[in-house]
Amino acid sequence: MGIGTAIHCHTCGYTEEFHVRIGHMHTSLEEVMPRMPAKAKRILTEVINNQGCTELEHDNNLFGCQRCNTLHIRFYVRVEYDNGDVVETKHWCSKCKKRLVLSDRPINLYNCKKCGSQTLEMGSHFLGLRYNV
Ligand SMILES: [Zn+2]
Ligand SMILES: [Zn+2]
């Protein structure tokens, strides 16, 4: 379960919708598996077969590109094992192909993928907006 929200550019009207989970609800792996990208499925299958997993995170997340400074929404899975090993999904920028890093800055510091302006906003009230533009 989750809520819908969207990224919206004030300047050009570019809108990208995505879903995030609310709080720390406990969903079983079997329940979320069908909705996951192939890459995430592979990691989670490994987790199910390995009882040493101590921490598991999976959700849509915001990623930033360190080269062209654009913001991307990607499905992120991170698993931490008892022995300290970490397995996580890796993503690359669709514009410049550089490895994306988890976003740690306010989204208005990133460039819009379409027009390049730093006028991105996020909120559920932008949902469906692109159909009205
Ligand atoms: Zn990039
Ligand atoms: Zn824009």
Ligand nearest the Cα of residue 96 is 1
pLDDT tens-place values along the chain, 133 residues long: 578 899 999 999 999 998 877 655 455 666 667 777 787 788 777 777 766 667 777 788 999 999 999 999 998 888 887 788 888 889 999 999 999 999 999 999 999 999 999 999 999 888 876 544 4
Q: What residues contact residue 39 under an 8 Å CB cut-off, 6+ apart?
A: 89
How far apart (Å, rounded) are the C-alpha atoms in residues 64 and 111?
Answer: 10
Report which of 97, 99, 79, 98 is spatially closest to residue 88, judged by C-alpha positions.
Answer: 79
Report which of 51, 70, 71 is spatially closest to residue 62, judged by C-alpha positions.
Answer: 71
How far apart (Å, rounded) are the C-alpha atoms in residues 29 and 48?
Answer: 8
Model pLDDT, residue 46: 74
Verdict on whether the full-model pTM lies above 0.85: no
Please state whether beta strands 71-81 and 86-88 pair in parallel, antiparallel, or not at all (unpaired): antiparallel
Ligand nearest the Cα of residue 114 is 2
C-alpha 49 – ligand 1 centre gap (Å): 35
Ligand nearest the Cα of residue 130 is 2
Model pLDDT, residue 132: 43
Length of the chain equals 133
